[in-house]
Amino acid sequence: MDETSATEAVAEPGFRDIVRLEGVQKYFGSVHALRDISLAIGRNEIVGLIGDNGAGKSTLIKVMTGVLAPTAGKIFIRDREVDLADYSVRMAHDLAIETVYQDKSLADKQPLWRNFFVGRQITNRFGYIDIKREKKIAEEVLLRSIGFRGVGITVDSTVAQLSGGERQGIAIGRAMHYNSDLIVLDEPTVALAVKEVRKVLDFVRRIKDSGRACVYIEHNLAHVHEVADRLIVLDRGSVVAEIAPRDMSVADLTEFLIDLQKAK
């Protein structure tokens, strides 16, 4: 991969929004999954994305990060329009957008160092991987950024040997490593013990402290209310509200979402 592209992108000043969607539509066959979505993610903010199952949260971030192509609409990254025919996960990586999916970020049977670099391996021009270098960098990240010291985990460990919290740690650590401007988290605290949830939330804050932005999908309203600067509420494929957490308590927020359900 081109190692410099990510860093250059970070250095580029003078943009207002990291990502902006305008009129994005997504159909799966006849199912209208996203209806005319327009939203912007600014710099240095944590945006919580909430809504019921099937509201379109996951589809939205997949469109945002290049996994799915939208049926219609425009995507701007750093205020520049993206050619949707070319937009892909790889391109999103190059544009410094990283995603951490609930349990789909890491491949179970593969060693950590491969999971770290897959999709953007350090290779020579024939495509052969520089294994030594990849392992060395992965080890540094493991020890320094994630703090896996003395827990019996090495870069050669397979993902299957890790706990749920450790997996999130690896995935988030990988995202941080690539100097991303925007880190998208898809329910990182699902199925984690309380102590590990703490760690992940601290990590989300650290993302902001380091000047990056974060889009955070979460079912647990208390978690997202605690860390988000802004909440975007999705319902049946549409953005129905934007809420500042300081203006609304968790209890009121819960009421609000339940009322949305009743309105169906």
Partner 1 sequence: MATGLIRRIEGLPIILVFACILGLFMFTAPGVFLSPFIYTTFLSTLPPLILLALGLTFVIGAGEIDLSFPAIIAFSGFVFALLFKEYQLGWIAVVAALAAGLLVGFVNGLLVAKVGIPSFIATLGTQFFWAGMATVLSGGKSYALRGAEESSVWQVLVGRIDFGPNAPIWLNQISLQAVWTALIAFFLWTILTRHRFGEHILFIGDSNEVSRVVGIDVDREKIRLFTLMGGLAGLAAIFLTLENKNFFGNQGQGYLLTAIASVLIGGTSIFGGRATIIGTIFGCFIIGMLEAGLVASGLTGAWVRTVQGLIFLIAIVFYLYVEEPQRRAAFLARLGFSAKFGRAKAAE
> Minimum distance from CB of 147 to partner 1 (Å)?
23
Residues that bind partner 1 (CB under 8 A): 67, 88-90, 93, 99, 101, 104-110, 114, 118-121, 123, 126-129, 131, 160
28: Cα separation from own chain's centroid: 22
Residue bearing tokens 């300081």: 246
CB of 207 to partner 1, least distance (A): 19
Q: How far apart are CA 178 and CA 186, in angstroms?
A: 18
| Alpha-carbon gap, residue 35 to 233, rounded angstroms | 13
Based on CB atoms, which residue is closest to partner 1, 118 or 250? 118
Residue closer to partner 1 (CB basis): 78 or 93: 93
Q: How far is the CB of 114 from partner 1 (least distance, A)?
A: 6
Structure tokens of 192? 């984690």
Q: How many CB atoms lie within 10 A of CB 117?
A: 21
Mind giving me the DSSP string for 238-261?
EEEEEE-GGGS-HHHHHHHHHHHH
If residue 217 lies in a helix (H) or strand (E), which one and from where to where? strand 213-217
119 versus 147: smaller Cβ distance to partner 1: 119
**Of 184 and 239, which CB lies nearer to partner 1 in the complex structure?**
184
CB of 111 to partner 1, least distance (A): 10
Give the nearer residue to partner 1 in terms of CB position, either 167 or 225. 167
| Cβ at position 263, least distance to partner 1 in Å | 33
Give the DSSP H or E segment for 41: strand 31-42
